[in-house]
Amino acid sequence: MINIEVIQGDITKLKVDAIVNAANCSLLGGGGVDGAIHRAAGPELLQACIPLNGCETGKAKITPGFKLPAKFVIHTPGPVYRDGLHGEPELLESCYKSCLALAEEKNCETVAFPAISTGVYGYPWKEATEIAVKTVRNFPAKNVKKVIFCCFSTEMEKIYRDVFKCA
């Protein structure tokens, strides 16, 4: 069973095996956590992403962490939220599963996730958090021992703590 921790902080500062990037489909950088990860990792991250030829929503691809304290960056484009009736929940769940599968493949023991799709992609915070917690809890991990949900704001941290207590 995966040990889960909820923190408020900067995901780019975490010394873990892998951090997850809430990327866009191009994988070439963007705003929010994506931009922060690209800035902190340095220009080598962009160079490593170019030959990956992007990534489909709900899937994941992995690169080295370069200047980050994390060994790897797992990039996953989350769904843009419309109304929850266009496959968004399944796609968001797939993001978490795809990231954990790549972490398993690379023998990562510690993985940190941001709140995927909850920024400019507009996913309602509580619903996204419920999917994240449930998916990680139910993932049949062999190598991954600990997942950190790293929240940018204290408001998001509170939602994660509330959902975690009830889940």
Q: 88-105 vs 125-138: helix axis angle to the nearest 10?
A: 40
The catalytic position among 17, 34, 83, 162 is 34
* Tokens coding 13: 């500062």
Of 116, 120, 107, 30, residue with least CA distance to 72: 107
CA distance 135 to 94: 9
Active site residue 17: no
* Tokens coding 21: 């990037």
Beta bridge partners of 113: 149
Positions annotated as catalytic residues are: 34
